[in-house]
Structure 1
Amino acid sequence: MELVQKNSYLDLVKSFLIWSFTLTVCLLVVGFPVGALVVMVGILATIILQTVIPASAVLVVTGSIFALNVGVVLVGAAILAFKGIYPEQVSWLSWLHGQNNLAHTPVYASCPLTCQFETNI
């Protein structure tokens, strides 16, 4: 009975780590335009906070933005892991487990000259 419980904890930790990696990659790649907006808001917040705490306004705003991003990734990964949603079950994560989903096979311009075709004459 103890072995089954250890395996479920191991699966939970594995799922959490994979989800945190996946959400971090998605945040960096897909969330880049949102990141530009966050930087603009951060600059405005730094300018406003500069009057109140002149020595550490940049540090406070930068630390807050970084902590918010890390918190969103970790909380999202924890929710997905505890709900039992594994990355293998999600259809748009085929790149994560190495499955190719090609819509069509590429045809190269030189193929009629170089490809070997079987002819039935």
Structure 2
Amino acid sequence: MQLAQVDNSRKNSYLGFTKSFLLWSFTLTVCFLVVGFPIGVLLVTCGILATIILQAVLPSSAVVLVTGSILSLNLLIVVLGAAILTFKGIHPEEVSWLHWLHGKEDLQPSNSPVYAACPLTCNLTKVVV
């Protein structure tokens, strides 16, 4: 009985690590695509310049070499970042600025209506004369 419980907890641990790693990979990829767009533009610009320079040395494979290195570098950054965050034990549910990932709506209304007569009638206190 003891052995079955230990094996089940280990299986849940691996499942938790896998889930956390995949969520971090997805989150870091989305953040890189959305927030890192200027960095992506700089990477493409540097890649074009590197392709032009390498064209003289490697005429047939300069584009493939530069494109492959840029894509593999981006993939390595995302996977390495997800692995580090997963092994440190930081779960995406614990991060406050990832509220869009949790699937929960904000309980506070973003826009509360303000009516023109409200300053005249909303905060009235009874005055006894």
TM-score, length-normalised on structure 2? 0.79
Look up the match of 2:46.
41
- Kindly indicate whether residue 13 of structure 2 is the aligned counterpart of residue 8 of structure 1: yes
- Kindly indicate whether residue 75 of structure 2 is the aligned counterpart of residue 70 of structure 1: yes
CA distance in 2, matches of 1:105, 1:26: 24
Look up the match of 1:27.
32
- Figure out how many residues of one structure are paired with residues of the other and give that number: 111
Higher-Rg structure is 2
Please tell me the residue identity of whatever aligns with 1:50: Q
- Kindly indicate whether residue 61 of structure 2 is the aligned counterpart of residue 56 of structure 1: yes
- Kindly indicate whether residue 86 of structure 2 is the aligned counterpart of residue 100 of structure 1: no
What secondary structure sits across from 2:100 in the alignment? coil
Q: Which blocks of at least 5 consecutive residues in structure 1 are unaligned?
A: 113-121
Moved more, 90-99 or 12-21: 90-99
Identity of aligned residues (%): 61
CA offset at residue 107 of structure 1? 4.3
CA distance in 1, matches of 2:110, 2:58: 60
What secondary structure sits across from 1:100 in the alignment? coil
CA offset at residue 104 of structure 1? 5.5
